[in-house]
Amino acid sequence: MYQHGFYSAKIKLPSDYTAGVVVAFYTSNGDVFEKTHDELDIEFLGNIRGRKWRFQTNIYGNGSTHRGREERYTLWFDPTKDFHRYSILWTPKNIIFYVDEVPIREIVKTEAMGGDYPSKPMSLYATIWDASDWATSGGRFKVNYKYAPFIAQFTDLSLEGCPIDPLQSSVAAVNSLCSEATVRLQSKTYSTLTPGSHAAMRRFRQRYMYYYYCYDSIRYPIPPPECIIDPTERARYHDTGRLKFGGSHKRRSRQSSLTPTNYESSDKQADVM
């Protein structure tokens, strides 16, 4: 388990018909803190041939599973053709999700979030599972095991953080033992968004985000405390938090990217079936 960290891997998703099959790359401590667990998710939601792949990010803190903070997006490439890098940064101040070194989401810790911001050591997981009841088009398309086996490949793993056993130390002791590692983590280039990377993130979200929990007024009549409502952007979304038809911007001519540096990776590759 790690108290804060940068978790990154190159992933190649299963091809052909994969409706209902969720591939997840995430951090969690649910096996240790069953009722107060923290979690950071990247989940790929299965697909039907010929359609764009969809995926979501989410965060939970202190067992706040009834206050999910999902955002959903489409990918601008076919993730079954080649490996692409997906990364999660978690520090005491912020959380950033990356796709191919492009930041797609940042959560900045606020006092109002309280325990909803993940704070306890977490492990890293890679899983593949049957989520027929909700994953693809809200459960309309189910897993068809005629197309099995479904294989997700993971390689070039980067794992940087402070390894710690939370059962052997108090919260104060964990923070003290990991203080130097946390300072190093926060000094990395991928821990802070520059004006250029903020612009790249904004372009991604304008182009590819199709569900935003902050604009889901049916689910959250009062938006969660970290939400900043942009009236112009809000007008592009229904009260369900879903993007209105035709609400995305025109396709841009070139892609912006950022390249995290100063992290080590392994060349080991693993298949998850």
Helix H, strand E, coil C: the string for the chain is CEEEEEEEEEEECCCCCCCCEEEEEEEECCCCCCCCCCEEEEEECCCCCCCCCEEEEEEECCCCCCCCCCEEEECCCCCCCCCEEEEEEECCCEEEEEECCEEEEEEECCHHHHHHCCCCCEEEEEEEEECCCCCCHHHCCCCCHHHCCCCEEEEEEEEEEEECCCCCCCHHHHHHHCHHHHHHHHHCHHHCCCHHHHHHHHHHHHHHEEEEEEEECCCCCCCCCCCCCCHHHHCCECCEEEECCCCCCCCCCCCCCCCCCCCCCCCCEEEEC
Query: Which of 34, 43, 111, 264 is flagged as catalytic?
Result: 43
d(CA 96, CA 101) in angstroms, rounded, equals 11
Instruction: Establish whether 233 is a catalytic residue.
Output: no
Query: Which of 34, 39, 101, 106 is flagged as catalytic?
Result: 39
Determine the residue type at 33. F
Instruction: Establish whether 111 is a catalytic residue.
Output: no
Q: Which residues are catalytic?
A: 39, 43
